[in-house]
Amino acid sequence: MPVANPQLLAEKILERLRAKPGQLLDPGKMAKSLNAAREQIIESIALLRSWGYVIKANHKRQYRFIAAPDSFISTEISYRLRTRFIGKRIHAYQAVQSTNSIASQLATAKAPEGTLVIAERQTRGRGRLGRDWYSPEKVGLYASIILYPKIHPTAAPGLSLMTAVALADTIGSYDDMEVKIKWPNDVLVSGLKVAGILTELSAELDRIEYVIVGVGININQTRADFPDALKSVATSVRIGTKEKIRRVEFLQRFLANFEKEYLVFKKSGMKETRRKILKYSYLQNKEIRLKLGRKTVSGVVIDIDETGQLILDTKDGIMAFNAGEVTTH
Ligand code: BTN
């Protein structure tokens, strides 16, 4: 059977070109082994180039793979992705308003668990507490993952915390950086925010219909890239490592860590996750102020419990909180 789908054929050719780095491949021979016409091979090479792959040809029109683009296209994300179900379905866009909104629509239409929605930029990226999430192209990572966990809605904050662990492990895998998790869902490097998580759910009182875990990560920004309002509070993985990061590789590492943590969370709830949260906790033993709507509570952070609540030692005794905005000074 000839390969009719041009995208599929292009991916097969790419696989072959990459399997033998540096080696020249002949379009006639590829055509034979892929049961396609030589012209189709040449068209597919043009398609791959239009996606950003660098493929050189010699005077005999034999092809050699040179480099892959660092852009969020599904072919590149899937290439050697080591997960079982997270990121196995990909919806990749150049620009969207918000990947979380698209993921919600897909979840309503019952997209498979683990479906990834990713965009090069967002025009209305959303942060927590009704804030915007600054989402410029080329430097950041904006993605949402669809989940259908069979957990009680009150356990959902644990999903943000397990995502924070997966992010912290991923960032920490690059360099010896001081990565911390600031409850409830910020990831910090050297005390500055490098990533945020927006977990949204559709649920009944006692049952979750779906969860969207949205992550925004500053990857390749230099200090000069941040707008003035963010300069003193934000950082990027690149600023931490002092090296430009391949964003697709970061995503693949994150998806693998995310899957691992999600499976642990599904099996043992917050028990295991909590151990890691405490290891990364930025707030442990710190004197903080927690803003809850119009009210503010002060106290010392003594724990994060097994439901993901922040435990504060306040002047009125020990108290537990499941939401709020923390300031440390
Ligand atoms: C925060 O720290 O306030 C959470 C930020 C979450 C941003 C991500 S980017 C991908 C996804 N889509 C959105 O609109 N928001 C989340």
pLDDT, one tens digit per residue, over 94-113 is 999 999 999 999 999 999 99
Q: Which atom of ligand 1 is nearest to the CA of 99?
A: 12
Q: Which pLDDT value is given to residue 293?
A: 87
Closest-CA residue to 71 (of 8, 15, 142): 142
Say how many residues make up the chain: 329
- Which residue has a Cα nearest atom 2 of ligand 1? 196
Q: What is the 3-state secondary structure (H, E, C) of 284-312?
A: CCCEEEEEECCEEEEEEEEEECCCCCEEE
- CA dist 308 to 160, 161, 216, Å? 9, 7, 21
Identify the segments of the chain with pLDDT beneath 50. none
Q: Which pLDDT value is given to residue 35?
A: 93
Can you list the domains of the chain with their CATH numbers?
6-67 (1.10.10.10), 74-280 (3.30.930.10), 287-328 (2.30.30.100)
Q: Which pLDDT value is given to residue 2?
A: 59
Q: Is 98 in the pocket of ligand 1 (CB under 6 A)?
A: yes
Q: Which pLDDT value is given to residue 20?
A: 81
Q: Residue 269, SS3?
A: coil
> Where would I find the H helices in the chain?
6-19, 27-33, 38-50, 74-78, 99-108, 157-172, 228-231, 237-241, 247-268, 270-280
CA 133 to chain centre: 14
Give the Å distance between the CA of 141 and the centre of ligand 1: 10
Q: Which atom of ligand 1 is nearest to the CA of 97?
A: 14
**pTM of the entire predicted model:** 0.95
Q: Which pLDDT value is given to residue 217?
A: 98
Q: Is 214 in the pocket of ligand 1 (CB under 6 A)?
A: yes
Q: Is 254 in the pocket of ligand 1 (CB under 6 A)?
A: no
Q: Which atom of ligand 1 is nearest to the CA of 127?
A: 3
- Which residue has a Cα nearest atom 7 of ligand 1? 216
Give the Å distance between the CA of 9 and the centre of ligand 1: 35
Q: Which pLDDT value is given to residue 266?
A: 94
Q: Which pLDDT value is given to residue 22?
A: 84
Q: Which pLDDT value is given to residue 3?
A: 59
